[in-house]
Amino acid sequence: MAWKGRLWSMMLEKRKQSRLHFTLVDPDRTSPRDVEKIARIARDAGSDFILVGGSLGVSPESTDAVIEAVKKYGIPVVIFPGALNNVSRKADAALFLNIINSDDPYYHGIAQVQGALIVLSHNLEPIPTCYVIVGYGGTAGFIVRARPIPYEKPDLIAAHSLACGMMGSKIIYLEAGSGAPKPVPPEAITMSKKLLEIAGIEALVIVGGGVRSVEAAKAVAEAGADGLVTGTIVEENPEILADIVRAFKGG
């Protein structure tokens, strides 16, 4: 694949042109046939990347099948692993996660040590990513034993983002959880970007969870996010995905 090993530089290049949109596909919630439809809708809507991952019921086989289906539509695929069984050799790159507010020691070393050898043997490009779980947290938050940062604490969310940047993460992923009743607060995004700027740290801040409307996508963009991840909307209300992507990218 032309972009093998170049996904991170491609993200930076694309970011110079516009904000980035990611469509999340959960192999447990989507059959390969539905995935083809989702991939086509995502591509036509202007989504830049497909993230593949889930927290429950995901097998190596279902992950492989989903990635193969997506690849027919020529969109780069990045795994967003809920567990080691999501790490597929068929992907182009992997978000290599540091789950900064998990209380489980497994996610602070062991998971990364186990994952590193698989990522290497699968020849996947690792993209160091700090995962900050906020508010609702969803299934992901529960499974990784996160202590979600309250929505009402944007300064605390931003302090986590700064720490992520200082630890060398290239992507800081502010996550309210799939299906969250409300997204990450805009103030937290603005404060995160501000602190990173003051510290002279270049990292992409991407935001996901609970963005289901044009207004919400605009608010995330205006707050200064570099990227937006949506998953539920393409499953439940695909006809508005293009509007959401346009609103986020500012077109």
Are 116 and 81 within 8 A, CB to CB?
no
Candidates 133, 139, 181, 137; CA nearest to 156 is 133
In the complex with ligand 1GP, the residue whose CB is nearer, 6 or 143, is 143
Contacts of 223 (CB under 8 A, 6+ apart): 186, 187, 189, 190, 193
Beta bridge partners of 24: 51
Size of the site for ligand 1GP (CB under 6 A): 14
Spell out the alpha helix ranges (H) of 57-136. 60-71, 110-121
- What's the closest the beta carbon of residue 31 comes to ligand 1GP, in angstroms? 17
112 lies in the binding site for ligand 1GP (CB under 6 A)? no
Q: Find, among 206, 218, 216, 163, the residue nearest to 11 by Cα.
A: 206
- Give the position of tokens 């491609």: 10
- Whose Cβ is closer to ligand 1GP: residue 229's or residue 247's? 229
**Least distance in Å: CB of 114 to ligand 1GP?**
21
Query: Interface with ligand 1GP includes 184 (CB under 6 A)?
Result: no
The distance of closest approach from Cβ of residue 36 to ligand 1GP in the complex, given in angstroms and rounded to an integer, is 19
> What is the spatial distance between Cα 66 and Cα 75, in angstroms, rounded to a whole number?
13
218 vs 245: CA distance, rounded Å: 9
User: 69 or 211: whose CB is closer to ligand 1GP?
Assistant: 211
Min CB(172)–ligand 1GP separation in Å: 13
Binding of ligand 1GP at residue 126 (CB under 6 A)? Answer: no
Nearer to ligand 1GP, 6 or 34 (CB): 34
Q: Which of residues 193-212 bind ligand 1GP (CB under 6 A)?
A: 208-211
Which one of 127-135, 162-170, 175-183, 197-205 is the stretch in contact with ligand 1GP (CB under 6 A)? 175-183
Sign of CA dihedral 101, 102, 107, 108: positive
Residues of span 218-237 touching ligand 1GP by CB under 6 A? 229-233
What is the rounded CA–CA span in Å between residue 42 and residue 233? 11
Distance CA 238, CA 94 (A): 26
Among residues 94, 95, 180, 219, the one that binds ligand 1GP under rule CB under 6 A: 180
Comparing CB distances to ligand 1GP, the nearer of 191 and 206 is 206
Interacting residues with ligand 1GP (CB under 6 A): 24, 175, 178-180, 208-211, 229-233
